[in-house]
């Protein structure tokens, strides 16, 4: 079955999707992206993702020639054409095609790319937990912008994989900011959760935003403050969040075991709460469909 991709007002076969060699996204990483999870045919936190997309576009001064509604319509069409049930939606917006000069082109038309991918995650990883390593955070100081300039993240992730770890935690002046493709959380006791505050040093993850609301609703204390490597290694429990992987328990940081080397009880409870949130959204979708059929 062929996969369909959207590029600049055209729906084409994924292997036929192309952009100009002078597209500024290709030449300069002058572009923004979003990756949105899909679970049982349900798009997770679409509005939050689109809000962040347009905020990032504003921060790097790309003037979009499309609306959130247009993107949502494209996504729905792609999901139907590609029969997407479990996986992700990828959106990228570049400043478009122009002569290779560092300064912004005077007139430009943004390039809009949207595609979908099926994703099969090995569920054993959630029961087993993951190992992470730590590395210096050498990225630029506008990590709050979801730019495609990801080379430092890629090198950090590859280093983790080569050392038998799942993720690399990035350390800035002794404090852990986030993972190469995730936000990190530590648990100080049964109901006190700590994660890095929102500023220019981290990307405010969508799963992060949603989980904070869930935790507060369920009487957890969420502290948005920086923490150092020693505090992380001495934490009761720790976990990562991301759009594709949701919540992953950490069982080892470098050579230090966390939670006796297995996913802790509080982390498992938090995972259950988030899964309930996802399933609840799915049930609402099914109920809405039934109501439409009855009408």
Q: Which residues are catalytic?
A: 146
Two tokens, residue 194? 């700590």
Distance CA 162, CA 209 (A): 31
Kindly give, in sequence order, each residue whose CB lies less than 8 Å from that of residue 70, ignoring residues fewer than 6 positions away: none
Answer yes or no: are the C-beta atoms of 177 and 144 closer than 8 Å. Answer: no
Answer yes or no: are the C-beta atoms of 282 and 42 closer than 8 Å. Answer: yes
3-state secondary structure of 20: coil
Nearest 5°: the CA angle 204, 208, 209 is 80
Distance CA 9, CA 24 (A): 18
**Buried-exposed string 218-247: b where 16+ CB fall within 10 A, e elsewhere:** eebebeeebbebeebbebbbbbbbbbbbbb
Distance CA 225, CA 238 (A): 15
Distance CA 72, CA 7 (A): 15
Distance CA 242, CA 179 (A): 10
Q: Please tell me the total number of residues recorded for the chain in this structure.
A: 295
């Amino acid at each position: 079955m062929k996969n369909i991709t959207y590029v600049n007002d055209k729906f084409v076969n994924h292997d036929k999707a192309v952009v100009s060699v002078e597209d500024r996204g290709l030449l300069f990483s002058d572009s923004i992206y979003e990756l949105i999870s899909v679970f049982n045919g349900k798009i997770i936190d679409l509005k939050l993702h689109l809000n962040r997309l347009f905020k990032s576009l504003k921060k790097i001064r790309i003037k979009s020639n499309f609306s959130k509604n247009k993107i949502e319509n494209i996504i729905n069409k792609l999901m139907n054409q590609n029969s997407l049930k479990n996986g992700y939606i990828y959106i990228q917006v570049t400043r478009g095609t122009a002569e290779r000069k560092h300064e912004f082109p005077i007139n430009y038309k943004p390039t809009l790319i949207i595609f979908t991918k099926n994703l099969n995650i090995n569920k054993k990883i959630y029961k087993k937990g993951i190992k992470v390593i730590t590395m210096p955070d050498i990225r630029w100081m506008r990590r709050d912008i979801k730019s495609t300039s990801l080379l430092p993240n890629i090198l950090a992730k590859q280093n983790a994989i080569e050392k038998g770890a799942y993720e690399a935690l990035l350390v800035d002046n002794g404090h852990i900011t986030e993972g190469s493709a995730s936000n990190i959380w530590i648990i100080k006791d049964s109901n006190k959760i700590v994660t890095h505050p929102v500023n220019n040093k981290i990307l405010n993850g969508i799963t992060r935003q949603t989980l904070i609301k869930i935790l507060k609703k369920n009487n957890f204390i969420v502290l948005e403050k920086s923490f150092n490597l020693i505090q992380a290694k001495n934490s009761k429990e720790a976990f990562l969040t991301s759009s594709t992987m949701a919540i992953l328990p950490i069982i080892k940081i470098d050579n230090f075991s966390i939670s006796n080397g297995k996913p802790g009880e509080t982390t498992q409870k938090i995972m259950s709460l988030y899964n309930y949130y996802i399933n609840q959204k799915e049930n609402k979708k099914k109920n809405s469909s039934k109501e439409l059929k009855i009408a």
